[in-house]
Amino acid sequence: MRRFARLLEALAFTPRRSVKQAQLLRYFTTTPDPDRGYALAALTGDLELRQVTPSLLRALISERMDPELFALCYDYVGDLAETIALAWPDGTAPPDPPPLAALVSELQRAGRAELPTLVAARLDALGPTERYAYLKLATGGLRVGVSGRLARVALAEFIGVDVAEVEELWHGVAPPYAALFAWADGGPRPEPARASLRPVMLATGFDDADPETLDPADFAAEWKWDGVRVQAVAEAGERRLYTRTGQDISATFPDLLERLDFEGVIDGELLIRTGDRVAPFSDLQKRLNRKRVSGALLARLPAALRAYDLLRWQGRDLRAEPFVTRRAALEEAVRALGDPRIDLSALLPFETWEALAALRAAPPDPVIEGVMIKRRASPYLAGRVKGHWFKWKRDPMVVDAVLMYAQRGHGKRSGYYSDFTFGLWDGDALVPVGKAYFGFTDAELRDLDRFVRNHTTDRFGPVRAVAPRLVLEIAFEGLNRSSRHKSGLAMRFPRIARIRTDKPAAQADRLETLRALLPPEGA
């Protein structure tokens, strides 16, 4: 446990990706099994524990510390785990804390009624650094600047193989990844699991490319739909539906799963589609993350797959083939399936980037986010490889809103107010319309934090109300009607595009301006 605590501390205070990778490599080299495997699973988000909730932790600390004093400490620190780790009364810590594997095992076995006693006993027996690591582990809140991809890159370096090989096997192994670490120690390469996710190919932004260096004739383009990128896998009698991050959502979409009557792997977009109409993302959200889907919901919001690419078909791996070859095979495969719920993403006719820009600016459906641009000669490569695939999203919608509330951030942002609620005018009152967590630079974050502290009008725990004086230009990708919000509207991917210190709050946009951006009913 001590090694894991030191690793988290080092990762949290290391900004450079290369140094984080070196720290992970050192940890894998110096830490025995199964601790290194459980640490890897915790960093990649693949460790399933009976998670300890913030309410449980607040109840435990309130028994040991005045709640008002703790609230002041939490407001200053900004991170619940860090505050409790520092404020928890020191007990008698053993010279050697238990191994990480032992702590993981007891958290996995513990029943809900046992958790408070178990967690309190462990916090009593750990020092502040280990307490912090334990709480991050138990709550699943590891925010140390390490993505799952970076952790797997470090593991691949440790094994001595390309990261694509690790990702090919990843979804067929489980924590603590004994087979992978045995492979690193000279053992055999693990066999890939049946019906597992293939490493997903991602695109880079076309806005960051130089079109003058790219010949339009070398590329194909298709619409970028606002759904969920998935892989539909049907192999050896097993059928699976995965998100691009590897989440198995098969049980949530049984209506689509039953239609995977083939032997292969299709890459595409999961959509809700009624007839020819593609529903907005808000309708798809109603079906995501459900353990059970009612018959009424299946009938009202039927799932469909819009196919983009073909990775494997009837025993043949197509990923090394150029895109044009895979596309021809995909067209034939979709035609042979003859299933109206599995259709083909159409290619767009264009000869110049200007012509494609015109198509992008006026898509035929409001659910289209932009265009995808794919090099015709491109193989299907894992990860975000530059120069092969590009995404060119539509210009975002923009409104000028007024900052209303701010909340302390977490992790590296725990010392700043970084979560901002903004509103628009409705008559003489401001109505909250959204919340933004990003879009600003570090320097702008410091300016926003300073404004919040200097213009606070009220406090609600970690949240501050601020005087309605600062205008923020908010960019967002889409807008839907929502009965869950007071404004009746829900923005898609809102972010702070500019801080408008030049604009008086009274001149910010009004709610009717935002409503005018809604797509027509039934569109």
pLDDT (tens digit, 9 = 90+) per residue, 124-147? 999 899 999 999 999 987 878 888
Position 94 scores a pLDDT of 66
Q: How far is CA 442 from the centre of its chain?
A: 21
Q: Which amino acid, 63?
A: E
Host H or E run for residue 235: strand 228-235
Position 458 scores a pLDDT of 94
Q: How many CA atoms lie within 13 A of 114 on its CB side?
A: 9
pTM of the full predicted structure?
A: 0.78
Position 74 scores a pLDDT of 84
Q: Dihedral of CA 408/413/416/419: which sign?
A: negative
pLDDT (tens digit, 9 = 90+) per residue, 316-342? 999 999 999 999 999 999 999 999 999
Please, where are the H alpha helices in 249-347? 254-257, 281-285, 295-300, 323-337
d(CA 164, CA 316): 19
Catalytically active residues are 224
| Packing angle of the helix pair 148-159, 17-30 (nearest 10 deg) | 50
pLDDT (tens digit, 9 = 90+) per residue, 339-375? 999 999 999 999 999 999 999 999 999 899 999 999 9
- The mean pLDDT value of the chain amounts to 92
pLDDT (tens digit, 9 = 90+) per residue, 15-48? 899 999 999 999 999 999 999 999 999 999 888 8
Host H or E run for residue 354: helix 353-361
pLDDT (tens digit, 9 = 90+) per residue, 169-214? 998 899 999 999 999 999 999 988 888 899 999 999 998 889 999 9
Is 80 exceeded by the pLDDT of residue 168? Answer: yes
Q: What are the structural domains of the chain?
A: 201-393 (3.30.470.30), 397-515 (2.40.50.140)
d(CA 127, CA 184): 33
d(CA 301, CA 345): 20
CB 262 within 8 A of CB 278: no
